[in-house]
Chain A
């Protein structure tokens, strides 16, 4: 392997080194890369949203097909126009006189979001989690059964720790203590896992610099 002749690889290597230069101190090259990524990522997400949301859900049904398959007929098209109108209302934030109109689409977003969240959170984050904590009686007396019991104890004690309506004294305090131990193991494991994920990214960048750019390693 030899030094890369691809200008794209050279640009990527230069930007990688620009970011790494921050390890020494804040400098001109880091700030260039930092400002570049702000603009490029904003543009990237704008294009993604236009391509994957605005065009298929708004432009194609309204201007090309003149029919919305969710609600066929003129009512569907009218609802799409209303959505766009609400979207445009957000721009009234720039006006001092009409800025209150921007609250309408924001209120609708909040309302829809809240309506989605109430059943969905209770279903996925509460009921499903409780369901998964139920011990399978077939595993009683086995290593898996013991682990399942530990999970149940950990969940209940962890929840007790988060329960602030009763003072953490006496029996409640003891259970809450087990809860905080469980949470600390969880945080430690998560920290270790995150640190290793970052290190694997670092290895990836080093691999790029040494293999793809400099061609030192094969």
Chain B
């Protein structure tokens, strides 16, 4: 029961959802719509589980005075402030939710991503050494795309670098991406088939 029921439910759901794609009938469309909304509703509850787990972990950290426990107040404060700003009508009407997004979440996220520019530069310095032919190709493609995307590159080459960058992005890059996508598509479909047939059971913690 503990093992067979989940495997059976997975098979039924996957089978029905696969079949509905090929059957243009109203009842199968309803199966699709119901499944889609079920997926989203269960997804919301799983987010609740994640938030509960986050809160429990930080409360435990504060209670037991674990290492760097003081920061847990900041995490919990941010979480509750955002939830209150988004769900308490009086705060929501004053635009508190948008204010927190604009002045806390957005600046931190954007700066964290911009920080990656420095780490990418340092990683590139170590990785982009023209030691072999393929490493040289990688280096040249990256340099041409970067130079082709800034006004300096355009000025230096009288429009040649942007043209090379566009060609690299639209031809070899498309070919590479397409080959990867086809591989990913086949991989996803075979993985989904493994899930449907109960061969892949990692969601049951290996049982």
Residue B184 interfacial (CB < 8 Å): yes
For chain A, which range describes its interface: under 10, 10 to 19, 20 to 34, or 35 or more residues?
A: 35 or more
How far, in angstroms, from A42 to B140 measured CA to CA in the complex?
40
Whether B13 pairs with A125 at a CB distance below 8 angstroms is no
A-side contacts of B159, CB under 8 Å: none
Whether B120 pairs with A194 at a CB distance below 8 angstroms is yes
Evaluate whether A115 and B80 lie within 8 angstroms (CB atoms) in the complex, with A16-B111, A23-B115 already known. no
How far, in angstroms, from A57 to B40 measured CA to CA in the complex?
9
Whether A111 pairs with B17 at a CB distance below 8 angstroms is yes
Chain B contacts with A in 48-65, Cβ cutoff 8 A = 48-52, 54
Whether B145 pairs with A158 at a CB distance below 8 angstroms is no
A-side contacts of B18, CB under 8 Å: 114-115, 118-119
Distance in angstroms from B119 CB to nearest chain A CB is: 9
How far, in angstroms, from A100 to B115 measured CA to CA in the complex?
42
Whether B111 pairs with A20 at a CB distance below 8 angstroms is yes
How far, in angstroms, from A174 to B137 measured CA to CA in the complex?
17
Chain A contacts with B in 135-173, Cβ cutoff 8 A = 147, 150-155, 157-159, 161-162
Distance in angstroms from A139 CB to nearest chain B CB is: 13
A-side contacts of B47, CB under 8 Å: 45-46, 49
Partner of B82, one of A12, A22, A47, A126: A47
Whether A93 pairs with B141 at a CB distance below 8 angstroms is no
- In this complex, what residue of A is CB-closest to B127? A191
How far, in angstroms, from A116 to B108 measured CA to CA in the complex?
35
Residue A5 interfacial (CB < 8 Å): no
Partner of A114, one of B10, B40, B111, B174: B10
B-side contacts of A150, CB under 8 Å: 171-172, 175
Distance in angstroms from B6 CB to nearest chain A CB is: 3
Residue A27 interfacial (CB < 8 Å): no
Whether A12 pairs with B103 at a CB distance below 8 angstroms is yes
Whether A201 pairs with B113 at a CB distance below 8 angstroms is yes
Residue B89 interfacial (CB < 8 Å): no
Whether A115 pairs with B137 at a CB distance below 8 angstroms is no
Residue B124 interfacial (CB < 8 Å): yes
Distance in angstroms from A18 CB to nearest chain B CB is: 8
A-side contacts of B48, CB under 8 Å: 46, 87, 91
The 3 closest A-B pairs by CB, nearest first: A115-B17, A186-B176, A154-B175
Known: A57-B41, A87-B41, A90-B46. 20 other contacts (CB 8 A): A16-B111, A20-B111, A39-B79, A44-B101, A46-B79, A49-B44, A53-B41, A84-B41, A86-B38, A87-B44, A108-B42, A114-B13, A115-B20, A118-B189, A130-B182, A185-B172, A188-B145, A189-B168, A202-B117, A204-B114
23 sampled A-B residue pairs with Cβ under 8 A: A12-B106, A13-B107, A15-B103, A39-B79, A46-B83, A71-B34, A83-B37, A84-B45, A86-B38, A87-B44, A105-B46, A107-B204, A111-B9, A115-B16, A116-B35, A117-B192, A118-B193, A150-B172, A152-B175, A188-B140, A192-B143, A201-B110, A208-B107
